A = this chain, B = another copy of it.
Amino acid sequence: MKNYAAEIITIGNEILSGYTINTNASFISQEMLKIGLPVQWVTTISDTADEILFALEKADQRADVTLVTGGLGPTPDDITKNTICNFFDTGLTEDKNVLNHVRNLLKHRGLDMLESNIAQAMVPETATIIPNPIGTAPGLFMRKNEHYFFFMPGVPSEMKRLITEHIIVHIKEGLDLPEVRNHLIRTTGIAESRLYELLRESIEENPDIPIAFLPRHIGVDLRFRLISDDANQIDRYVKFISKVRSLAGKFIFTEQDIELEERLGQLLTEKKLSLSIAESFTGGMISDLITNIPGSSAYLLGSAVTYSNESKMKTLGVLSKTLEQFGAVSEETVTEMVRGIQKYFKADCAIATTGIAGPTGATETKPVGLCYIAARYGEKETVREFHFGTDRIINKRRGATAALEMLRRLLLDIH
């Protein structure tokens, strides 16, 4: 079994200018890693013949598979395709299928066929065409000896379809790739260093089983990957994941590729429960996250963003003496908020947040980042105090995550 390596070449000035982030490379890298073909080089260059030729030559020397995005648009002077022909020592020819497809696609969009569109049907003679159902530029598959080259348009949605529907198939058919096992565990509410300490012994007992710690805004992802045909190693891989699962325990909110708000939506749906939300600190972010999930209207009855004291009293029934005595940012107020919003909507569950998101608004006793969050499920209730940082948007994000996680634990009776 050979160890294969891939290179990504991104062609385009919009990436070099910095105003477009190279998310294409990120997507392709992840997809290749899943099939056991790690990307070792990502090269971004401008759309000029010299640069393209040099990058192709370099990739040919070091990689087994090269994936090129960009440079295939309907521009009049098609530098990329001519350079490809030069590199592969071939010429351009018209492909009737591509021409028909372009004509139909434009017709469907109510557009006329332009000369530049006709030019898109000109493809290198020795290329295998990869159909692009949603765009006018086809993908190209070409070989140089044992080296595979794939050329794709730079439009992310088109590139993604070519990769997942065709290119992965071509690569798997052609190369003797190793069998890869992937597993994902998503955690929240624990810092990377503490999580590492929890798992350290198990990790050290399994030095040959790769585990990656990937910190995100809302928590730490653990990604496991095993490339092996050895039954004993595979067995230890499965046991290692089990061990991590039991050690990380309550911090794990899912082992699927979904976010915390979607996990919470699954739980609410399974248990047939309704939800209402009162947001001060988070200013609507929790509601926004919850309603990103299709079907959330089945459990979200409604939310109130109560930025003013008046709105806390009027909608949530927070008492004026509570606000006077303890202030809007207090355990007492958030408790009345969560009870108030549950009652207002007659909801099974409720979440409430209050705090000082910053950068202004701090008082002598209440610093920026101070936050109180409450969650309720029926009569069960948890209230917690948090001390976040000074960045307003990160504070909102951390508060929203903590609130969702508190309700998840309450629903699952996790302490």
Contacts and interface: CB of A to CB of B under 8 A. Distances in A.
A33 B17 contact: yes
Interface in A294-330: 294-297, 300-308, 310-311, 314-315
Interface string A248-289: 000000000000000000000000000001010011111110
Contacts of A221: 19
Contacts of A16: 29, 38-42
B17 A29 contact: yes
Contact of A42 (B14, B44, B311, B345): B44
Contacts of A282: 288, 291
Contact of A41 (B45, B285, B296, B315): B45
Contacts of A43: 41-44
Contacts of A22: 21-22, 25-26, 42
A108 to B, nearest CB: 15
A242 interface: no
Interface stretch (A129-137, A230-238, A353-361): A353-361
B301 A310 contact: yes
Which of A19, A214, A223, A345 has the largest number of chain B CB atoms within 10 A?
Answer: A19
Contact of A302 (B18, B304, B357): B304
Interface in A214-237: 214, 221, 223
Contacts of A168: none
A180 interface: no
B295 A302 contact: no
A294 B360 contact: yes
A212 interface: yes
B307 A304 contact: no
Contact of A308 (B32, B284, B302): B302
Given A288-B284, A291-B283, A294-B359, A42 B19 contact: no
A305 B292 contact: no
Q: How large is the interface on A (under 10, 10 to 19, 20 to 34, 35 or more residues)?
A: 35 or more
Given A41-B44, A292-B396, A294-B358, A212 B307 contact: no
Contact of A19 (B10, B23, B214, B287): B214
Given A307-B300, A310-B301, A361-B297, A26 B33 contact: no
Contacts of A344: 314
Nearest to A43: B43
A181 to B, nearest CB: 16
A49 to B, nearest CB: 14
A214 B18 CA distance: 11
A292 to B, nearest CB: 6
A52 interface: no
B287 A305 contact: yes
A20 B29 CA distance: 10
Interface of A: 10, 14-23, 25-33, 38-46, 51, 212, 214, 221, 223, 277, 279, 282-288, 290-292, 294-297, 300-308, 310-311, 314-315, 344-345, 357-361, 392-393, 396
